[in-house]
């Protein structure tokens, strides 16, 4: 079994803003594309993708939830989830072959597929459901933070970030060193009240989430009121609704 490093030089990870994520799944598509064609997990297999029972491996997922507050209108929260690169990663310590590991240089949790036997113990140990068994190769796959991109000097500086961060159209995903209190991501977590997912599991995840901001119900009220029927279709409704603001 693999031991965890006592400490890491950096703690690279993601900060995901639940206020600006719109659930477009661009991050899911970018992750799938990169790790099927170029990334260290390549290929991510798909079996019968257009048939009645498709099967395959994805490293990133986006879940949607309807939040109903005590007062005010309901809202939908989109919740992206992938490996959280935990400081106390149980997926690493349960691995019987040492295939799961955590790098001391940057804290990224990886799988050495050459040593993986597909036993699934790491998937059972992970409380976040972040491990995927590739159905064709029979080995475990997971988010690598696209280390092959961030360490690639041949790429332009703007591209040396995970594929999901590079492609996010709303800027909801941020990447950096969360072990450095002065980094942009650490300052963002401090200013917005960033939180750990399921802290009761005591895994100390590196990735953080920023909570949705409070909505100004008074500002939204005109859009929530029914409008009398009139000519003009949707554009007419939109014009009259905006005129109320």
76-85 in b/e form (b: 16+ CB < 10 A) is: eebebbbbbb
pTM of the predicted protein model: 0.85
Could you read off the pLDDT of 174-193 as tens digits, one per residue? 999 999 999 999 999 999 99
Question: From CA 36, how far away is CA 59, in angstroms rounded?
Answer: 11
Helix residue ranges, H only, the chain: 26-37, 90-93, 121-125, 147-150, 163-167, 184-192, 217-224, 233-243
Does the pLDDT value for residue 74 go beyond 90? no
**CA 184 from centroid of its chain's CA atoms:** 18
- What is the chain's mean pLDDT, rounded? 90
Residue 133's pLDDT band (cuts 50, 70, 90): very high
Q: Which CATH number applies to 12-214: 3.30.1330.10, 3.30.70.20, 3.40.50.1860, 3.40.50.720?
A: 3.30.70.20
| Domain residue spans of the chain | 12-214, 216-245
């Amino acid at each position: 079994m693999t031991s965890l490093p006592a400490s890491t030089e950096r703690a690279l990870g993601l900060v995901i803003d639940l206020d600006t994520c719109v659930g477009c799944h661009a991050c899911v598509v970018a992750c799938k594309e990169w790790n099927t064609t170029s990334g260290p997990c390549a290929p991510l297999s798909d079996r019968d993708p257009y048939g009645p029972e498709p099967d395959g491996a994805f490293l990133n997922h986006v879940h949607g939830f309807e939040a109903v507050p005590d007062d005010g209108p309901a809202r939908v929260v989109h919740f992206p989830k992938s490996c959280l690169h935990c400081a106390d990663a149980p997926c690493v310590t349960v691995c019987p072959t040492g295939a799961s590991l955590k790098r001391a240089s940057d804290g990224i949790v990886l799988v050495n597929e050459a040593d993986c036997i597909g036993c699934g113990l790491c998937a059972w140990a992970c409380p976040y459901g972040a491990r995927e068994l590739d159905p064709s190769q029979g080995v475990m796959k997971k988010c690598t933070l696209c280390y092959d991109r961030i360490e690639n000097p041949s790429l332009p500086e703007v591209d040396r970030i995970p594929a999901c961060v590079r492609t996010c159209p709303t800027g909801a995903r941020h990447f950096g060193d969360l072990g450095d209190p002065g980094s942009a991501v650490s300052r963002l977590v401090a200013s917005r009240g960033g939180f750990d997912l399921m802290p009761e599991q005591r895994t100390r995840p590196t990735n953080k989430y920023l909570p949705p901001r409070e909505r100004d119900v008074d500002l939204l009220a005109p859009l929530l009121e029914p409008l009398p029927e009139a000519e003009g279709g949707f554009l007419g409704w939109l014009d009259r609704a905006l005129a109320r603001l």
